Structures are given as C-alpha cells and as structure tokens.
Amino acid sequence: MGNKDDMKLMIESGKTALGLEFGSTRIKAVLVDEEHNPIASGDHEWENRLENGFWTYSLDDIWTGLKDSYKKLAMDVKERYGAELTTIGAIGFSAMMHGYMAFDKEGKLLVPFRTWRNSTTGQAAEALTELFKYNIPQRWSISHLYQAILNGEEHVKDVAFFTTLAGYIHWQLTGEKVLGVGDASGMFPIDPETKDFDAAMVEKFDALVADKNYPWKLKEILPKVLVAGENAGVLTEEGAKLLDERGTLKAGIPLCAPEGDAGTGMAATNSVAKRTGNVSAGTSVFAMVVLEKELKKVYPEIDLVTTPDGSLVGMVHANNCTSDLNAWVGLFREFLESFGIDVDMNKLFGTLYNKALEGDADCGGLLSYGYLSGENITNVTEGRPVFVRSPKSNFNLANFMRVHLFTALGALKVGMDILLKEEHVEIDAILGHGGLFKTKGVGQSILAAAIDAPVSVMETAGEGGPWGMALLASYMIRKEEGETLQDYLADKVFAGNAGTSMNPDPKDVEGFEVFTRRYKKGVAIEQAAAEYLI
C-alpha cells in the first residue's frame, strides 16, 4: 500500500474509487486505492419510520445522511494521510433495492418514498405475477406503481419518472436518469438477452392500464438500464455541493451506474460468474445463485434478479435467521452470570456453536422455528419462536444448539431445494458471509450440508456492499478492452484469495434432509402458535 506520502499523492491525484451504500440502518462510504484495498471510510446511522401506513425515509434523512457519511470519510482521509479529498477516480452509489420514488416533470417527489419493507402491495403483486407469468414480489417498484393505480391514487397521472433510492441519488448528482441492471431487475423484469426491461412485459403492462388514459407509457417513466462498466455520467457542480457541503470536491468525476445492495454483495463476494453464488446470513438470510438458464416455471419462493453485468440470478430470501439463536445464547450468558461467571461473548458463541458439531446428524429429533416475523417461504404470516420435542427425542446441549443452527437455515433450505432439486441448478461454489459464519467452520459446515455444495468464507467478505460498489466504480475506469466484470474481479481483485473452502459431509447432508422433512411437516405447529399465542 506504500507509505503515507505515497498514499497522500495517490489520493490527491485521484487514483481512488468511492463506493457509498444506503443500507436499512447505516449509510457507509468506503474509499479504495488502486489495488482495491479500503483506505478510508465514513458512516451515518439512520432509521426508517412508519408514516401514514408506509415505511419511509424523508428526503432530509437521505441528504443529511449522505453528507454526513461523506464528511466523515473526508475527515478520515485527512487524519490518516494528511490529504484533502478534492477529486476521486470514480464514484458509485448503491442502496436498498426495490421500493417506490415517483416524481413529476418538475422533479418534485409526489408521495413520500415507499421502501422495500412495505407489504401493502399484495393485490398488485399477485395480479402482475399472473399477467407476466413471472414472479413479481411485493417489494418490487412495479408492484408499488400498480397498487397505487388499483388504489386510485391521485398522484399516478402526474408521474414523469420513478426509480429506486440509488437511482434518485445518482440522478440528483449527475442529472442522469439511469440505473444499473441489477437494481433495475428489482423494479421490473429484465430480459437476459437484451439486458433491458422485458419489452413484451412492458407492452402487457401498458395494455393493462390503457383504460386509465394516463399521459405516460411505462418505458417513458422508467430509468435507462446500464450494465457494469458503462459510463453513467459525471458529478455536476450542483451534485458536488450536494455531496460535499464544504465545497472541496471538484465536479467532473465519472460515476458508474447506481446499483442495488444485492449487486454490490455479489461484487464483494466474487459471485458474478454462472454456477456461483453467495449466502448472506445474519438477522435475515438470502442466497443468490447465478443461473445458466431461465427457470422452467414461476415460484413465489424465488425472485429473479440479475448480476451487475446482467446475468440471471435466482434469489431465495428468508426473513428470519439468527435472531432467535442469539436470544438463546443470551439466555446461556444470563445463566452463567447468575453464578458470578464473567462471560466473553465471542468465547460463549464459539463454545456453543462448536458443541453443535457433536450432536446427532438430524438434531436428535428436536425441532424449532426461530420466526420472530412471518415467513412467506413456509406460508407463515406472523412469527412465534417455537422449540418442540417428543418424549423420544435425544435432548442434550449439542442437539439443542444444532437444531437452532439448522433452523436458522430452514426456510432458506426449502427455497434452495426448489432450485437444486426441481430446477436442477448446478452450483460450483457458494460464498458465505455474515454473522452466522463468524465462528470458524461451524455455520460454514451447516450451510454446506443444507445445500450439498462446497462453501467458502473469505476475510474481505466482511467489507460488504460499499466496498462492492467501489469495486464496480474501479471496474468502470480500470477495465481493459473486452475485460468482463467476472474476469476483472477474479484476476485483479480476488486473485489468489478464494477463501477457505469446506465440502459437505455426507452424514450431515443426510441429517439435514431428515431434519427438513420434520421442519416442513411441523410448520402447522408454528402456524397454530401464531393463531393461539397472542
């Protein structure tokens, strides 16, 4: 990385790239050097709010958070290297996907931002899934637009443009109404051949709403779709002031296409090639698998999105993962503290997770559901964490921990089984990242058993979405003629760092299959708990 003087010179001459991501609770900026190493960062905490029945963030929240995270980044650069951040090689913005930000022809927001978290679009999502013969989840932007039409909302006739959060920020900073294909794939279905919105489905939508006589056609109000590596405009004078309120940053910096958090996660885990994927496991869990071909039928359990360079991705998303497991570990901490024992939480997690490896392959007949909220994959509308066993179950600590680790991936397994067993999707490598994988070898071996495929874990996966966005910005300015994103990541970012791989143990694979049959059958217990436990 060089000494402090070299770094100062590199920063001041703009040989850097900046990725900035709006997560659901944190906005984070990460600056990388020419070798893609993170060299400075800044972040800002924020929270969504429920207003008039919709989860939202205000425009003030968005701009306050953006300026604050950038200001902290610039201060970090100054403190570490004595450098003033006046220029950057390239910038990229990413954010939570989906949701609805609709503007009139003057650029005024017509209704408060409706985030992905809103589940108010069931009627629209169902009707569009039927019309397109393509799974349209409630979170998607087109579901929000069509639900507003079904609701007879006054603002729809005035819509001149609608986009995602990342698309909005990019537009304000560059004047360009564009979107990276990965983020666009959470607005409206993408045709993998054209890497643009599916033209036949756009026509079907226009025909569906023709009787409303709106002054717009769908294609006119959607952003232009770009793939990774394409230039997406430059930072304007006004944009530079919006980002850096101190006025130090110069205009003219190139920006890459804004992306969604799923796309930046794929970049950050080197999972953009076909037959690869990644699993992010923390409070919730999702798997992204890059497909070789389209699925044979529509599955409500599987969302179809794309990589930042436009390859089709099957996404399985479960609302619940480690929250209940963490609560049980908290109970064990309380137990030990009652005896006056000081507890190191990392050691406690490590000990209990490793204990799970001593359990019976199928968890000894135990069953649990760590559902703090509903789970659409198993058709459960409300969460009630449940632990249950029969008199014949082998009830001990190892099996107790094992069942809670298995069930953390239970709903994900149900969705993944559709891809692997019904669609016969082939996976060469999956990369695991998130809290479940912190204890070396445990979450990794259990995920490998769940999907019967090798699972890798690597150190840099912890850098997350903003780093992935910085990689996409770097790719735009540094790629060679004809160099694909897949090759750029493999050769120039992750070269020699494939992580630590673990193959599935056949005994554990069989044990997980037995557990999954029990898990599916027992869903009725979970549904009854939601009904009877108020």
Q: Which of 225, 91, 109 is nearest to 168 (CA)?
A: 109
Crossing angle of the two packed helices 141-150 and 199-208, in degrees rounded to 10? 10
**Does the pLDDT of residue 254 top 90, yes or no?**
yes
Q: Under a CB-based contact definition with an 8 Å cutoff, are residues 29 and 19 in contact? A: yes
How far is the C-alpha of 16 from the C-alpha of 11, rounded, in Å?
6
The pLDDT, as a whole number, for residue 381 is 84
The pLDDT, as a whole number, for residue 460 is 58
How far is the C-alpha of 504 from the C-alpha of 520, rounded, in Å?
22
Q: What is the mean pLDDT of the chain?
A: 94
How far is the C-alpha of 195 from the C-alpha of 177, rounded, in Å?
17
Query: pLDDT of 375-387, one tens digit each?
Result: 989 988 889 999 9
Hey, what long-range contacts does 58-61 have (CB within 8 A, 24 or more apart)?
Answer: 58/112, 58/113, 59/109, 59/113
How far is the C-alpha of 339 from the C-alpha of 337, rounded, in Å?
5
**Does the pLDDT of residue 495 top 90, yes or no?**
no
Beta pairing partners, 368? 387
- From residue 145, alpha-carbon distances to 49, 57, 216, 234 in Å are 21, 18, 13, 29
**Does the pLDDT of residue 410 top 90, yes or no?**
yes
**Does the pLDDT of residue 450 top 60, yes or no?**
yes
How far is the C-alpha of 303 from the C-alpha of 309, rounded, in Å?
17
**Most distant CA pair in the chain: distance in Å?**
72
The pLDDT, as a whole number, for residue 534 is 81
- Cα angle vertex 197, ends 196, 201, to 5°? 145
**Does the pLDDT of residue 2 top 80, yes or no?**
no
Average pLDDT, stretch 7-24?
94
Average pLDDT, stretch 33-41?
94
Query: pLDDT of 154-167, one tens digit each?
Result: 999 999 999 999 99
Length of the chain equals 534
Q: Which of 143, 146, 128, 233 is nearest to 186 (CA)?
A: 143
* Tokens found for residue 356: 């799970």
The pLDDT, as a whole number, for residue 299 is 94
The pLDDT, as a whole number, for residue 65 is 97
How far is the C-alpha of 81 from the C-alpha of 412, rounded, in Å?
44
Just give the CATH number of 270-320+413-501.
Answer: 3.30.420.40
Average pLDDT, stretch 390-419?
97
Percent of the chain with pLDDT over 70: 99
On the 0-12 / 13-18 / 19+ scale of CB atoms within 10 A, 276 is buried
The pLDDT, as a whole number, for residue 463 is 61
Q: Across the chain, how many H-helices and E-strands are there?
A: 19, 24
At which residue do the structure tokens 């060299």 appear?
A: 39
**Does the pLDDT of residue 498 top 70, yes or no?**
no
Q: Which residues contact 510 (CB under 8 A, 6 or more apart)?
A: 361, 362
How far is the C-alpha of 181 from the C-alpha of 188, rounded, in Å?
10
On the 0-12 / 13-18 / 19+ scale of CB atoms within 10 A, 108 is exposed
Query: pLDDT of 205-227, one tens digit each?
Result: 999 999 999 999 999 999 999 99
Q: Which uninterrupted H or E stretch holds 38?
A: strand 38-45
What is the domain partition of the chain in residue ranges?
A: 100-163+188-221, 270-320+413-501, 323-410+507-532
Beta pairing partners, 254? 234
Burial 142-178 (b: 16+ CB within 10 A, else e): bbbbbbbbeeeeeebebbbbbbbbbbbbbbbbbebbb
The pLDDT, as a whole number, for residue 97 is 93
Average pLDDT, stretch 519-531?
95
**Does the pLDDT of residue 462 top 60, yes or no?**
no
Q: Under a CB-based contact definition with an 8 Å cutoff, are residues 114 and 55 in contact? A: yes
The pLDDT, as a whole number, for residue 24 is 85
Q: Under a CB-based contact definition with an 8 Å cutoff, are residues 137 and 193 in contact? A: no
Q: Under a CB-based contact definition with an 8 Å cutoff, are residues 165 and 101 in contact? A: yes
How far is the C-alpha of 262 from the C-alpha of 287, rounded, in Å?
10
Hey, what long-range contacts does 335-338 have (CB within 8 A, 24 or more apart)?
Answer: none
**Does the pLDDT of residue 92 top 60, yes or no?**
yes
Q: Under a CB-based contact definition with an 8 Å cutoff, are residues 389 and 395 in contact? A: yes
Query: pLDDT of 296-315, one tens digit each?
Result: 999 999 999 999 999 999 99
Average pLDDT, stretch 104-130?
94
- From residue 48, alpha-carbon distances to 55, 174, 351, 440 in Å are 6, 26, 36, 34
At which residue do the structure tokens 């950038």 appear?
A: 70
How far is the C-alpha of 39 from the C-alpha of 30, rounded, in Å?
8
User: What is the pLDDT confidence band of residue 434, given thresholds at 50, 70 and 90?
Assistant: confident
Strand 224-226 versus strand 178-180 pairing type: parallel
Q: Which uninterrupted H or E stretch holds 242?
A: helix 237-243
- From residue 348, alpha-carbon distances to 330, 335, 363, 445 in Å are 9, 12, 20, 19
Query: pLDDT of 318-364, one tens digit each?
Result: 989 999 999 999 999 999 999 999 999 999 999 999 999 999 999 99
The pLDDT, as a whole number, for residue 119 is 81
Beta pairing partners, 310? none
User: What is the pLDDT confidence band of residue 5, given thresholds at 50, 70 and 90?
Assistant: confident
At which residue do the structure tokens 């969504």 appear?
A: 48
